[in-house]
């Protein structure tokens, strides 16, 4: 599914003052493409994702999906995964994943689809566990399954692994790639983690703040799976860092 972000700006009103969160964002995400977005806190990344999902409206401009303007959120076409877990704490893994699945399905189909998704995210054996009994990474995998169960044609990920330790994060990134290889879902990934942006993205969009704008787009032409320790990866990491910070702001201890 192709997503076109066309001249999108968003102005919020706070205490009768206007705050321009994002200005004139233009970006075409191709079908089956993964686009990473990086930028400092407050530069409007979440605002942009909410507009793409249809949960919020642009002040000017609009979002076009396969050429059609988005007017409302569509759970079926566009899935969104938020930074913080939004699972129901009182429902077990199965029930959390079941949430949002069409009522029209027969009991057997429902059970089969849930089982498939539990397996897809590697949580077999934990069907009856409550979110409080899972680790952070497992909870994010439940969120992933719950979103994927609707077979969205596009997936919007807002800092999905921000709270995870480095090892869990890397295994979740591999999980996302595995799902992408299988489903070829179009993805927009917002992250603070430059390595994650390069590891997953076909392109890395670097945003600047006040107001949030696209500063540059760095293409990532490395074959997958990518090796974070390779020299090619290091070259890209340096390129993104240099865009991320103004070159005189690059931390002195930063070496590639």
Residues making contact with Mg ion (CB under 5 A): 46
What phi and psi values does residue 191 have, to the nearest 5 degrees? -150, 155
Answer with the entry of ligand ATP, Mg ion, none that 42 interacts with (C-beta below 5 to 8 A by kind).
ligand ATP
In this complex, which beta carbon is closest to ligand ATP, that of residue 76 or of residue 210? 210
C-alpha radius of gyration, the chain, whole number: 19
Closest approach of Cβ 112 to ligand ATP, in Å? 37
For ligand ATP, the closer CB: 44 or 152: 44
Q: How far is the CB of 208 from ligand ATP (least distance, A)?
A: 11
What are the structure tokens assigned to 230, written together?
A: 């390779």
**Contact of 60 with 11, CB cutoff 8 Å:** no
Burial class for 68, CB neighbours closer than 10 Å (0-12, 13-18, 19+): exposed
* 221 binding partner (options Mg ion, ligand ATP, none; Cβ < 5 to 8 Å by kind): none
Quick check: 178 and 101 in contact, CB under 8 A?
no
Residue 48 or 121 having the CB closest to Mg ion: 48
Task: Choose the contact partner of 43 out of Mg ion, ligand ATP, none; CB within 5 to 8 A by kind.
Answer: ligand ATP
Task: Give the residue with the Cβ less far from ligand ATP, 41 or 106.
Answer: 41
| CB neighbours of residue 46 within 10 Å | 16
Scanning the chain, the segments in alpha helix (DSSP H) are 45-53, 93-98, 107-120, 136-148, 166-183, 194-200, 231-244
- Shortest distance (Å) from residue 168 CB to ligand ATP: 20
Q: Which is nearer to ligand ATP, 41 or 229 (CB)?
A: 41
Answer with the entry of ligand ATP, Mg ion, none that 21 interacts with (C-beta below 5 to 8 A by kind).
ligand ATP
Residues that bind ligand ATP (CB under 6 A): 12, 14, 19, 21, 39, 41-47
Relative to beta strand 154-158, strand 78-81 is parallel
């Amino acid at each position: 599914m192709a997503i076109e972000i066309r001249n999108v700006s968003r102005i919020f009103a706070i205490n009768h003052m206007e705050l321009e969160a994002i200005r004139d964002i233009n970006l075409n995400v191709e079908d089956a493409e993964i686009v990473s977005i990086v930028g400092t806190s407050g530069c409007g990344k979440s605002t942009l994702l909410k507009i793409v999902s249809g949960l919020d409206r642009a002040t000017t401009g609009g979002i076009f999906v396969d050429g059609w303007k988005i007017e409302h959120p569509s759970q079926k076409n566009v899935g969104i995964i938020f930074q913080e877990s939004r699972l129901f704490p009182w429902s077990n893994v199965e029930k959390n994943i079941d949430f949002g699945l069409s009522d029209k399905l027969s009991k057997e189909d429902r059970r089969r689809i849930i089982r498939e998704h539990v397996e897809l995210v590697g949580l077999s054996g934990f069907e009856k566990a409550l979110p409080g009994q899972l680790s952070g990474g497992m909870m994010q995998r439940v969120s992933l399954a719950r979103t994927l169960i609707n077979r969205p044609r596009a997936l919007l990920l807002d800092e999905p692994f921000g709270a995870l330790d480095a090892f869990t994060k890397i295994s979740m990134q591999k999980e996302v790639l595995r799902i992408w290889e299988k489903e070829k879902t179009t993805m927009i990934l917002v992250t603070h983690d430059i390595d994650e942006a390069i590891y997953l993205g076909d392109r890395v969009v670097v945003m600047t703040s006040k107001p949030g704008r696209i500063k540059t787009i760095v293409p990532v032409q490395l074959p997958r799976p990518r090796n974070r320790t390779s020299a090619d990866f290091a070259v890209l990491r340096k390129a993104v860092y240099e865009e991320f910070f103004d070159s005189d702001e690059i931390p002195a201890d930063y070496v590639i």
